[in-house]
Amino acid sequence: MLTLERVTGGYSTGKPAIHDISFSVQSGEIVGLIGLNGAGKSTILKHVLGFLQPSSGTIAFSTDQPLLAYVPEMPELYEELTLWEHLQFMAKAYGLEEQQFQERAKRLLELFRLDKRAHHFPGSFSKGMRQKVMILCAFLVKPDVLVVDEPFVGLDPLATETLLNQLTEIKQEGTAILLSTHVLSLAETYVDRFVIVHGGNMSLHGTLEQMRQQAGLPDATLEQLFLAAVRG
Amino acid sequence: MAFDPLYATRLQAAWQTGQRYAKRAVAGSNSLGLVVLYFLAAFLYMRVAESLTGTFWTQLAACLLTAVFVAPSSVRTFLRKADLAMLAPSPYPMKHYLRSAFVYSLLVQAAGMLLLAVIVYPVYKRTALSPGSWVLLAGSLILLKMWCSDLYWRHVRLERDSFLLLVAIWGIAALFLYGFWTSNRVYAAAALVLMVILTAMAMSKAARYHLPWLFLIEKENKRIDLYYTILNMFIDVPHKRKKVRPRTWAIRLFDRLTGDKGDAYLYVLVRHVIRTGETFAIYLRLAFLTLALIAWAKAPLLLYALCLLGLAAAGKQVTQHIRTIVHPPSIRLLPIASEERQRAAFRLCLAMLGLMTAGMTVVILSKTAPLLDKLALIAICWIWTYLLTAYFFRRKKTAANYQIPLKR
């Protein structure tokens, strides 16, 4: 569904932040981007989303007009739209049928326990609740490609569990998910393949088993592999 | 006296920001109303001043009112939240920094007193027992202000910024001014004695070694917030956290007037313009003012000018708001074409101007004039509404495109 081939880029052409990044995300798969702060994870995501242009390499989608959804690390909401209006806005933008929208929206609001706040403005929401709104908007449209940047930050354990269940559900429905996270224990359980980024380069990539072989650590956990990769 | 380098840098940055915003505020359509208001207020004030005589009550009222502007003092510290972590533990010479803050604030407030003297002088001349020169009045006001500022600063550094203190300063300043107004040395001397006592009392409690950082930072933040609130009346200030007003009735009305229910961008645009910033409030004020003026105006030329200018001013306000909307980056991922954005902005502006023109139509029809003249004016207003909207949202080649490149 999504393929990156030898992508080099960053915020200025003279100083690339990422170098030769190549990986793919298939439909019905979760690929985890893992790295230290400043390793280049968010930069890769911004290139995938089209917010940044690579100086070399290609980013390709298997369909011409894929539906993309993005959950940023810092929730960015329209302060002048209520939670319900945010969902309605997304439904209009993606051309969802009214009945389909009503069903999905109500289910998601209940799942994330936001049904009582549906007609509130986000000004009164906590960071976790704002994050939930972003997640709800992304799940509402059932995108072809879902890009999620540090989704677990600020979420309570119940919301984290719901999010993981929802990620699994839309994955099974065929969505390609690119997930950036620091929570390695969750990533180890829910992510199918990994890309460990260090200093803007790919250190290890593939399934857990493939990465163990690449690192020469046959019994290593994801955390051990990650630490080995970043410590060189 | 040379200002502290850090303070001087912050002061310069603040002035540059202020100048930039002032230019934008002057260019905004709301500044025109302020100019009209200024001339109106100046005219009325001069008429009132000329009608005054030197009675006890007029003298007392003049002194109490003048003291209202003399008593409140402030010190621009330019302290920021980060200073608490950066400067508070460091050996930076804050004494010099704060002295610079005090001196600068004193100079600014002294300039304010010169302006106050210009304003008050006509009343002083009419009501004082034996009025002195303007220089004498200005000098007295500056001296009073210096005392007020000094006392305020001493108390602020002791975290004793109370309303009671302000009332006491106001009372003493008024007493001094009354003595000055009536050439009564007893009142002036009594005020001076009280001033010395209050200053001595404040001095007896030396300022703490540790600065009241949180207190000073909070005061500075409140001041900046106030500036932005005032500025927000003229232009939309991005730094100012936008107050969101639900305005359900207006949302319902404009959702209907703008039509297309499936248009996602129009949906968000209507809510943005109506609920955030001052645009909608300004639009309403402008609409009501224009309608009132049209109802009052009789000369045909004036009527035409009011109609066309009122619509142009409202259109400019709405256009400015729409052009400065900053969307979350994720909107770029939504399948919303640039044509859709352009169309949505056009529809909303047309709906807002159309509603105003509908109001004008009613007022014009209710006026006593030949029907043909009224219909001609109404027709011109409607054509003007469409032309204005088309002009404000004419397609530009440089318009931003929200289509993200998917393959490179």
Calpha distance A194→A203 (Å, rounded): 10
Q: Among all residues of chain A, which has the CA nearest to that of B404?
A: A50
Residues of chain A in contact with residue B408, where contact means CB-CB under 8 angstroms, are 53-54, 58-59
State residue B13's pLDDT score: 93
A137 is a domain residue: no
> What contacts A207, CB < 8 A, 6 or more positions away?
A192, A193, A194
Give chain A's contact residues with B (Cβ, < 8 Å). Answer: 49-51, 53-54, 58-61, 64-70, 72, 76-81, 85, 88-90, 92-95, 121, 123, 134
Q: Do A53 and B332 touch (CB under 8 A)?
A: no
> Which B residues, 231 through 250, put their C-beta within 8 Å of a C-beta on chain A?
242, 244, 246
Paired with A56 in beta bridges are A8
Calpha distance B150→B102 (Å, rounded): 8
Cα of B278 to nearest chain A Cα, Å: 13
Helix (H) or strand (E) holding A31: strand A29-35
State residue B30's pLDDT score: 66
Calpha distance B104→B98 (Å, rounded): 10
pLDDT by residue, tens only, chain B of 408 residues? 788 889 999 999 999 989 988 888 887 666 777 777 788 888 888 888 888 888 899 999 999 999 999 999 999 999 988 888 778 777 778 888 989 999 999 999 999 999 999 999 999 999 998 888 999 999 999 999 999 999 998 888 776 667 888 999 999 999 999 999 999 999 999 999 999 999 998 888 766 556 788 888 888 988 888 888 788 777 766 666 667 899 999 999 999 999 877 889 999 999 999 998 778 988 998 899 899 889 988 888 989 999 999 999 999 888 888 887 777 777 777 878 888 888 999 999 999 999 999 999 999 999 998 999 999 999 999 999 999 999 998 866 544 443 333 332
State residue A171's pLDDT score: 94
State residue B208's pLDDT score: 57
A177 is a domain residue: yes
Q: Do B334 and A72 touch (CB under 8 A)?
A: no
Q: Do B333 and A94 touch (CB under 8 A)?
A: no
Q: Note the ipTM here.
A: 0.81
Q: Which of B243, B255, B266, B330 to mutate to test the interface with A (most CBs of A within 10 A)?
A: B330
Q: Among all residues of chain B, which has the CA nearest to that of A98?
A: B262
A192 is a domain residue: yes
What CATH number is given to the structural domain containing A184? 3.40.50.300
Calpha distance B317→B321 (Å, rounded): 6
State residue A4's pLDDT score: 94
State residue B83's pLDDT score: 84
Q: Is B35 exposed, middle or buried (0-12, 13-18, 19+ CB in 10 A)?
A: exposed
State residue B399's pLDDT score: 44
B89 touches chain A (CB under 8 A): no
User: What's the N-to-C CA distance of chain B in angstroms?
Assistant: 61
Residues of chain B in contact with residue A72, where contact means CB-CB under 8 angstroms, are 328-330
Residue B153 falls in which region: left (phi positive, over 0), alpha (psi -120 to 50) or beta: alpha
Q: Do A68 and B333 touch (CB under 8 A)?
A: yes
Q: Do A72 and B405 touch (CB under 8 A)?
A: no
Sheet holding A145-149, edge to edge: A68-71, A145-149, A176-180, A29-35, A193-198, A201-206
Pairs of CB atoms within 8 A across A/B:
80
State residue B243's pLDDT score: 77
Cβ contacts of A150-153, under 8 Å, gap ≥ 24: A150/A73, A150/A180, A150/A181, A150/A182, A151/A71, A151/A179, A151/A181, A152/A181, A152/A183, A152/A186, A153/A73
Residue A148 to residues A7, A213, B33, B301, B400, Cα–Cα distance (Å): 19, 28, 49, 61, 26
Q: Do A92 and B267 touch (CB under 8 A)?
A: yes
Average pLDDT of the residues of chain A: 91
**Does residue A189 have a pLDDT over 60?**
yes
Whether the Cβ atoms of residue A180 and residue A174 lie closer than 8 Å to each other: no
Q: Which of B255, B334, B348, B404 to mutate to test the interface with A (most CBs of A within 10 A)?
A: B334
Q: Which of B236, B321, B333 to mutate to test the interface with A (most CBs of A within 10 A)?
A: B333
A12 is a domain residue: yes
Calpha distance B132→B116 (Å, rounded): 16
Q: Among all residues of chain B, which has the CA nearest to that of A58?
A: B408
Q: Is A179 exposed, middle or buried (0-12, 13-18, 19+ CB in 10 A)?
A: buried
Residues of chain B in contact with residue A121, where contact means CB-CB under 8 angstroms, are 244, 246
A163 is a domain residue: yes
Q: Which of B258, B268, B325, B327 to mutate to test the interface with A (most CBs of A within 10 A)?
A: B268
Q: Among all residues of chain A, which has the CA nearest to that of B326?
A: A78
Largest CA distance in chain B: 87
Write down the residue that tokens 């540090």 correspond to.
A150
State residue B157's pLDDT score: 77
Residues of chain B in contact with residue A89, where contact means CB-CB under 8 angstroms, are 264, 267-268
Q: Which of A72, A81, A85 sits opposite B330 (nearest CB)?
A: A72
Q: Which of A58, A80, A89, A139 to mutate to test the interface with B (most CBs of B within 10 A)?
A: A80
State residue A148's pLDDT score: 92
Cα of B325 to nearest chain A Cα, Å: 11
Residues of chain A in contact with residue B276, where contact means CB-CB under 8 angstroms, are 79-80
Residues of chain B in contact with residue A134, where contact means CB-CB under 8 angstroms, are 330
* Tens-digit pLDDT profile for residues A57-115: 999 998 877 888 888 888 888 888 999 999 999 898 888 899 999 999 999 999 999 99
Q: Which of A59, A64, A79 sits opposite B242 (nearest CB)?
A: A79
Report how many domains make up chain A.
Answer: 1
Q: Among all residues of chain B, which has the CA nearest to that of A123?
A: B244
A151 is a domain residue: yes
- What is the pLDDT confidence band of residue A225, given thresholds at 50, 70 and 90? very high
Q: Do B334 and A94 touch (CB under 8 A)?
A: yes
A95 is a domain residue: no
Q: What are phi and psi of A229, to 5 degrees?
A: -65, -45
Residues of the domain holding A159? 2-75+144-231
Cα of A213 to nearest chain B Cα, Å: 33
Q: Which of A51, A89, A121 sits opposite B264 (nearest CB)?
A: A89
State residue B401's pLDDT score: 41
Q: Among all residues of chain A, which has the CA nearest to that of B265?
A: A93
A199 is a domain residue: yes
DSSP 8-state code for residue A12: B
